[in-house]
Each structure stands twice: as C-alpha cells, then as structure tokens.
A and B are shown apart, each in its own frame.
Chain A
C-alpha cells in the first residue's frame, strides 16, 4: 500500500510540474507568437531557436547552466538578425543561412561534448515530463518577464507593428519596439527549450496564434486566445507523450496543429 501511495504522489508531482511548464510557457508564447505572426517573423524565430542548440553545447562544454548558455546564444542570434535586417540585408536568404547554420554548428559542437549525445534528443524535441522544480522556476520567471514586457509596451508595439512612420509621428520609436520583441524572443527560446525543444519552438509561437486569428476581431482577443490554445496544446500533447511515450515537443505541436485545423474550419463556418 505504502509503495503505491508514494508512486501516486510522484506521478502527481511530475505531471503537475509538466502541466505547469506548458501553462507557463503558453503565457508568453501566446502574445509573443501573435507579434511573430503579425510582423512575419517566423523565420526569425527559427534562426533564434535553432541557435539554442549551440548554446546547449557551449553550456555543457563550459559547465554552465543550460538555460544561461541558451539565453546568451539566443540573444546574440536575435540581435545579429535584427541588426542585419535594419541594414537592409535580403532577409529570406540571410535567415535561411543563419537558421540552418546555427542548428548544424550546434549539433556538431554538441557531439564534441562528452556524454551530451545521449541527451541530445531532449534538447531537440523537449522533455516536458522531466521538468524539475528549478526548471519550472526558470520557465515561469522567463514567461512572466516576457508577458510583463509585452503588456507594458502593448500599445506602442501594436502601433509600430501597423506602420513605422505612423508610430514615429505619434512619438513611438519603432526601433525600440523591435528591440523589445527581439529580447522577448530570446528569453522565450531559452524558456521553451525544455518544454518543446529547439526544433519546434517557432511552431509553438506561430501555430496557436495562427489558430487564434480565425476566431478573433481584435489583437487582444487573438493574443488571449493564443494563450488558451497554447495551454490546450500543451496539456493534450503532454497526455499523448505520457500514455503513448511519444516525444513531448512534437506531441504538443501536433496537438496545436489539430487545434489550428479545428479553428480554421470553425472560423469558416462562423463567417458564413
């Protein structure tokens, strides 16, 4: 009897942690993902999140916390991309080069780090069921930071997203707002690594927001609905991962894709 009780508590505990991780992440990916969709930054998200693998390699090599390494490299990549974009580089090609190079170099670098190869899939695909208490603290702090930042700058961010000149004439500097989104993206990448993995962070940003678009009339409604869909996808994906032993990240993103399909159909019906 005693053994079973202990097992139940443990089960509760890691499940609760996993669910909380998904909810925490979605609080940030909902609104930030909406901006990624509105500003067509999908590839930008890819480049930044793929760079996270390089951050993992560096952190393991220098015996630093993985979250710190990821955050540092994601920040570096995000600011590189933002700078190149401001200088008028051909972004489609540049981002394609950066995103894939960052992933490839990261994977090569990880292979040099002793013992890391075995963990590699958890960094690529996430490991939400293995989220620890301190992971959870990191996820919630990062997400809360991003959410607070976006709420604080919401009006300015929206104005700058609509039109740079309009923003400027209203006293909003569009370059500052872009910087804020760049920073937020790097933090979300570091936070999301454990939950969905480097390969699918951008998907977690885009798919819930895209699903929310069909059912929203205002930017706020879309951001809020994207949070809700993110939470839903996390919980469904978590369940799938738990019962069928599927990789966590792809399971969550697959669930999000399902929600997107339903919302697209529902939105169409609603309009007719």
Chain B
C-alpha cells in the first residue's frame, strides 16, 4: 500500500463530510474517486494528504512516500510575475535539463520562458503535472485535473496520465465527476457520496445500482451527473446542503 485511509470520518465546520471511509492504493494503480459536487471528494484527498485533520480513523502512508500533487485550481495572481521555468523550481530547485525534460514529457516544448498567467487552461494543467513529476513521485494525486478543459483536451490529459503511470510505475489517485471520461484511464473507481457507495473496475461501477442511483437513471454521459436524484438513502450524512452550481442547459 502506498497510502491508506482506515475508517476515517472528517468534519468541516461541524458538518460530517466524510463518514467511515476506508480505501487505499497500491503501486502502479490508477484509482479515481467519483462523486457529485459536494460529495467530499476533495476533502478525501485533502485528508489523505494531511491538509485537513480526521475526526476518527487513521491515514497511513508508506514510509518516505514521494508525493506529487496537482491541485484543483491554481490562480496565479496578476501581481506575481512567474515564468513556467521558475514555477517548476518550487519549492525544490531543479536543473534546466530536468525542467526541460519534464515539459517535453507532458507535451510542452519551449514554454519555459512564458508567464504562468498567460497559459491556456490545458497548458496550465500540463505545467502543474510537469511540476508534480519533477519530484519523481511514487504517488501522483490529482484533484479534478481537467476542470476547464474541453472534451478532447480532457481525453488527451488522461492518456498522458496513463503514459506516466506506464513509464514511471507511479500510483495515481484522481478525483473526477465524470466516469465516462476516466473510464479508460482507471483501474478502480470509488464512488463517493460522503461514504463509499460502491467501488470496483469502471465497468462494474457503471453497472452498480448504487452508482446509477447516485448519478441518475437512464441518461448517459456527463449530463447524468448534474441531474442526479437522491433516491437511495444516505440517512444521517447531512449532505442536503451541497450545491449544484453547474448549469447544463
């Protein structure tokens, strides 16, 4: 096991966001946490990383685990001048050769001199991935890494993740809200709505009644997610308050 959560519960501002979650990830495995907005996906990642404390349960990491993290959203303030090359050297300085190689690895050449604030969404996410790869991680953690990318961009990004796993043997833990996009890239999917609803291979999960209950019946694709009906019971998890801010008209 690279990283493991045993029966963890997490409260945020007095509301239980995660309830008795047990999950783990081994070397070379790609695991995707799937769930609607406000289901506690990011909180689970943050608990695994130690950013938010757990109320009960334990998080265990392999000793000396090298971790690469790609955050959900990173806004580089306009007041902060930052070239791509400089960004790759944070917080550990890397050599020019290493930074160039990492950029090539994610499919970006000759971009080191560009300002971070001037990159497109797809370029930005790839630079974040390149930075994470520079620490030679045994475990890559990505929080909705394709937010703001179009469908082809998303598919290309997940292909890249699969390549990275193949080349480096790193375990990959991702958060997504769309099973269909991550299906090809994931070995295992964990369906989360404050607790683990179901888990297994993408195919097993997509046919599981819990998954269908969570993400809607009949409809296919991303649209299902935003119209999900809570017709299976989650008593006592206090998730009524989560928002559905997306507008897919």
Residues of A that sit less than 8 Å from B by CB: 37-38, 40, 155-156, 158-159, 161-163, 165-172, 210, 213, 216-219, 221-222
Q: Judging by beta carbons under 8 Å apart, are A217 and B81 in contact?
A: yes
Residues of B that sit less than 8 Å from A by CB: 46, 49-51, 67, 69, 71, 74, 76-77, 79-83, 86-87, 89-93, 115, 135, 141
Supply 11 further A-B pairs (C-beta < 8 A) apart from A159-B91, A162-B80: A156-B91, A158-B91, A166-B69, A166-B74, A169-B49, A169-B141, A170-B90, A170-B92, A219-B81, A219-B82, A221-B81
Contact among A38, A155, A217 with B90 in the assembled complex (CB-CB below 8 Å) = A155
Q: Judging by beta carbons under 8 Å apart, are B90 and A168 in contact?
A: no
A residues near B91, Cβ cutoff 8 Å: 155-156, 158-159, 167, 170-172
A residues near B80, Cβ cutoff 8 Å: 38, 161-162, 219
A215 smallest CB distance to B (angstroms)? 9
Q: Judging by beta carbons under 8 Å apart, are A163 and B82 in contact?
A: no
Given known pairs A163-B74, A169-B67, the reply for A222 and B81 (CB within 8 Å) is yes
Q: Judging by beta carbons under 8 Å apart, are A218 and B83 in contact?
A: yes
CA distance A218 to B115 in the complex (A): 9
Given known pairs A217-B83, A219-B80, the reply for A169 and B90 (CB within 8 Å) is no
CA distance A39 to B67 in the complex (A): 26
B residues near A222, Cβ cutoff 8 Å: 81
CA distance A38 to B81 in the complex (A): 9
Q: Judging by beta carbons under 8 Å apart, are B90 and A218 in contact?
A: no
B residues near A219, Cβ cutoff 8 Å: 80-82, 86
Q: Judging by beta carbons under 8 Å apart, are A170 and B69 in contact?
A: yes
Q: Judging by beta carbons under 8 Å apart, are A216 and B74 in contact?
A: no
A270 smallest CB distance to B (angstroms)? 13
B residues near A210, Cβ cutoff 8 Å: 79
Contact among A155, A161, A170, A218 with B81 in the assembled complex (CB-CB below 8 Å) = A218
Q: Judging by beta carbons under 8 Å apart, are B86 and A218 in contact?
A: yes
8 example contacts (A-B, Cβ-Cβ < 8 A) are as follows A40-B77, A155-B90, A162-B76, A169-B141, A170-B135, A172-B91, A217-B115, A219-B81
CA distance A36 to B225 in the complex (A): 41
B residues near A38, Cβ cutoff 8 Å: 77, 79-80
Q: DSSP majority for the A interface?
A: helix
Q: Judging by beta carbons under 8 Å apart, are B74 and A155 in contact?
A: no
B145 smallest CB distance to A (angstroms)? 13
CA distance A216 to B78 in the complex (A): 12
A174 smallest CB distance to B (angstroms)? 10
Contact among A155, A168, A172 with B50 in the assembled complex (CB-CB below 8 Å) = A168
B residues near A166, Cβ cutoff 8 Å: 69, 71, 74
Q: Judging by beta carbons under 8 Å apart, are B93 and A155 in contact?
A: yes
A6 smallest CB distance to B (angstroms)? 49
A residues near B141, Cβ cutoff 8 Å: 169
Tell me the nearest residue of chain A to B93, going by C-beta: A155
B170 smallest CB distance to A (angstroms)? 15
CA distance A218 to B113 in the complex (A): 10
CA distance A165 to B81 in the complex (A): 20
B residues near A218, Cβ cutoff 8 Å: 81-83, 86
Tell me the nearest residue of chain A to B89, going by C-beta: A155
Tell me the nearest residue of chain A to B76, going by C-beta: A162
Contact among B69, B76, B92, B135 with A165 in the assembled complex (CB-CB below 8 Å) = B69
A171 smallest CB distance to B (angstroms)? 8
A residues near B74, Cβ cutoff 8 Å: 162-163, 166
CA distance A153 to B80 in the complex (A): 17
Could you say which of B71, B86, B91, B92 has the most chain A C-beta atoms within 10 Å of its C-beta? B91
Tell me the nearest residue of chain A to B128, going by C-beta: A166
Given known pairs A155-B91, A155-B93, A170-B69, the reply for A165 and B51 (CB within 8 Å) is yes
B25 smallest CB distance to A (angstroms)? 15
5 nearest CB pairs, A to B: A169-B69, A159-B91, A216-B81, A155-B91, A38-B80
CA distance A169 to B72 in the complex (A): 13
Could you say which of B86, B90, B93 has the most chain A C-beta atoms within 10 Å of its C-beta? B90
Q: Judging by beta carbons under 8 Å apart, are A213 and B81 in contact?
A: yes
Contact among B49, B69, B77, B92 with A155 in the assembled complex (CB-CB below 8 Å) = B92
Tell me the nearest residue of chain B to A172, going by C-beta: B91
Tell me the nearest residue of chain B to A218, going by C-beta: B86
B92 smallest CB distance to A (angstroms)? 7
Could you say which of A156, A159, A162, A171 has the most chain B C-beta atoms within 10 Å of its C-beta? A162
B49 smallest CB distance to A (angstroms)? 5
CA distance A38 to B71 in the complex (A): 19
Q: Judging by beta carbons under 8 Å apart, are B90 and A159 in contact?
A: yes
CA distance A219 to B46 in the complex (A): 28
B84 smallest CB distance to A (angstroms)? 11
B127 smallest CB distance to A (angstroms)? 12
